[in-house]
Amino acid sequence: MFSDTVNFSSDIAPSIDSTAEHAKIRSAKARGKATITEEDKHDCMKCALCGKKECAQGKSCTDVATDIDYEPALETMRIAAEIESRYMELTRLEELILFCKKMKFGKIGIAFCIGLSAEARIMHKILARDFEVHSVCCKIGGTDKDDLELVKIRDPESHETMCNPLGQASVLNTAETELNIIIGLCIGHDILFTEHSNAPVTTFAVKDRVLTHNPLGAVYSRYYLTNVFGLESSDPD
């Protein structure tokens, strides 16, 4: 069982009842408050463990998620809802293109992993039909890992260019892109890119070299759930 730093098999999920009770307590605390206390901040929502999802029927477990000024995000939410309403009609790529058109974006950025260069090339060509596209490879700048004392994958004595998410963000920020798309950046590098990007970021593809870039494969696999994470795949909790 994989156990480098995390024990996946212990204390994975409390009961649904305790989750529901916690939600009631959180709602009682938040109700009627204009500000969120430090105690509220440390409360932990566990929606993923709730078997009822009554929020889908209009019930609310917390005021923290609804006492919000939606005005700055309203246009994006309207367009997202329009696309969502076309349920099972469009692929994610078609949805992405439609979203960009409705948002009236002119410049689109692509931050991609060199290992997905072929996929990034196709994406660039398709998007370039409707937008000005700026695509940036993760190895931009050619900086050796030795310069930052980073672990190398191959021969430690030879040059190995580091991934450069801050460099990717800098290039796209300079180009003043209006939306940036991640294609297969490494875990951690995707976070740094998103943090340093001036434009909003959406992820089109998540890197998973073992599962052909389909990370949910580990969730769907009985083998991985049982033998790697110590979780019975049939366990509803």
The per-residue pLDDT for 12 is 40
The per-residue pLDDT for 235 is 58
pLDDT band at residue 39 under the 50/70/90 scheme: low
**Residue 85 burial (CB count, 10 A):** 8
C-alpha span between 3 and 136 (Å, rounded): 35
C-alpha span between 148 and 133 (Å, rounded): 30
What percent of the chain has pLDDT above 70? 80
**pTM for the whole thing?**
0.81
The first and second tokens of residue 220, run together, are 């769907």
The per-residue pLDDT for 92 is 97
**Residue 43 burial (CB count, 10 A):** 16
C-alpha span between 32 and 146 (Å, rounded): 55
Mean predicted confidence (pLDDT) in 110-130: 98
Mean predicted confidence (pLDDT) in 3-32: 44
Query: Is residue 17's pLDDT more than 70?
Result: no
The first and second tokens of residue 137, run together, are 């490879």
Distance of CA 69 to the CA centre of its chain: 23
C-alpha span between 71 and 93 (Å, rounded): 27
Residue closest to 18 by CA, chosen among 48, 50, 42: 50
Torsion of CA 73, 101, 132, 202, to 10 degrees: 50
Query: Is residue 116's pLDDT more than 80?
Result: yes
Residue closest to 23 by CA, chosen among 46, 42, 55, 40: 46
The first and second tokens of residue 145, run together, are 């890992």
pLDDT band at residue 161 under the 50/70/90 scheme: very high
pLDDT tens digits, 73-107: 999 999 999 999 999 999 999 999 999 999 999 99
pLDDT tens digits, 168-185: 999 999 999 999 999 999
The per-residue pLDDT for 3 is 47
User: Exposed/middle/buried for 80, CB within 10 Å: 0-12, 13-18, 19+?
Assistant: middle
pLDDT band at residue 225 under the 50/70/90 scheme: very high
